[in-house]
Amino acid sequence: MASITKRNGKWQVRVAWRDTQGNWKSRNKGGFPTKTAARKWGIEQEQLLASGQINTSNPEWPAYFLEWFNTFKKDKISKSTARLYLKTSERISDYWGHAKISTVNRRQYQDFMNQFGKTHAKETVQKTNSIIRACVKDAILDGVIAKDFTQRVELIWSSDGIKVKYLNVQQIKQLVNSLKDGITPRMVSRYMIITAILTGMRLGEIMALNWDDLNVNFKTIRINKSYDYVNGGEIKAPKTESSNRTIRINQGLVDLLLELKANNQDMIFKTKVGTIPGSPAVNKTLKKHLASCGIERNNFHFHSLRHSHVALLLDKGVDLFAISQRLGHSNMTITAKKYAYLIDEHRARSNDQIAQVLDEISGKNNENKVIVAPLLHEQK
């Protein structure tokens, strides 16, 4: 019930209630010129309270986020994804400290994202914002806060240190030839790198392959699981439902993989001693062979081979839908966003080709023809 009093010629209102623990809470506001205006505000607050839009608890913002994660997300996401949520929790705590969630506003959140974006890449900024927004929306749904302080916030990100993530056709050939030179079944990391180049598979998907997943007659690989090399090596479901797929491979890769039968293991990439090379081992081998080929690429690692596979398929005219299916994306939009920089380069090349065709039709002489620069072959 609202109580209205007059002080120093102005009206003030106090709305009081008991929270779920039986403790008294209140909201106060003064400075109303008339009792009618004060009563109107009091009625509005009582209506908000009745509809659950006034935070009867008002927890600290970092504590609320962590509790939300443990309740709604922890048991439903992978361990690698959970690490991003926990890292986000740390960042919230570092910025807001013990601030109550009800005191957080859009200006603060914009400043938080501005600071974060200065030192992080686009994808990381977008994921972090998406995680926080989901938490805030649930806080509104639970009546903890009334307004969404993440709404209409502008995101910025850093482009520093972003390098080309793929190899061109010539470099891919160089690398594959280097990996094949003197290869034996004990050099399992080499086989894994070649498989990534020729399939675009993720490292965990490659590590999880067993011999039943390889169809020699139809030249296909079935991908329906992933190896959690970060958390002790358990076999888990693939990254997403759409990651369940069967992809076509060439005879050369089939023959290469069959060489690993000599290790006498149930899984394709298990060594003779029963271990599967993880991220440190395959990246060490990758860097060694890149160096031997004279290929310099900053921040190039195993997952960059997936980008190289996409670049190779685009260069050879494979359409985006087929590429998206091969990568295990649920739709082409994901592929287009993830590999936008490659698609932009491919589009520029296609535009040059279109201009050349039109010049030929319109009778332009050779001096005016557009010189087409291939997407991959010309990359330095």
Q: What percent of the chain has pLDDT over 70?
A: 87
* CB atoms near residue 197 (< 10 Å): 21
Question: pLDDT digit string (tens) for 128-180?
Answer: 999 999 999 999 888 788 889 999 999 998 876 455 578 888 999 999 999 99
Distance CA 191, CA 183 (A): 8
Q: What percent of the chain has pLDDT over 90?
A: 53
Please give the model's pTM, rounded to 2 decimal places. 0.63
pLDDT at residue number 136 = 96
What is the band of 193 on the pLDDT scale with cuts at 50, 70, 90? very high
What is the band of 295 on the pLDDT scale with cuts at 50, 70, 90? very high
Q: Where are the extended beta strands (E) located within the chain?
A: 2-7, 10-18, 24-32, 214-215, 220-223, 226-228, 234-236, 245-248
What is the band of 380 on the pLDDT scale with cuts at 50, 70, 90? very low
Question: pLDDT digit string (tens) for 56-115?
Answer: 567 899 999 999 999 999 888 877 789 899 999 999 999 999 999 989 999 999 999 999
pLDDT at residue number 370 = 46
Question: pLDDT digit string (tens) for 254-285?
Answer: 999 999 999 999 999 999 999 999 999 999 99
Question: pLDDT digit string (tens) for 303-318?
Answer: 999 999 998 888 888 8
Distance CA 265, CA 340 (A): 40
Compute CA distances 238 → 127, 209, 245, 319, whole Å: 20, 12, 10, 24
What is the band of 50 on the pLDDT scale with cuts at 50, 70, 90? confident
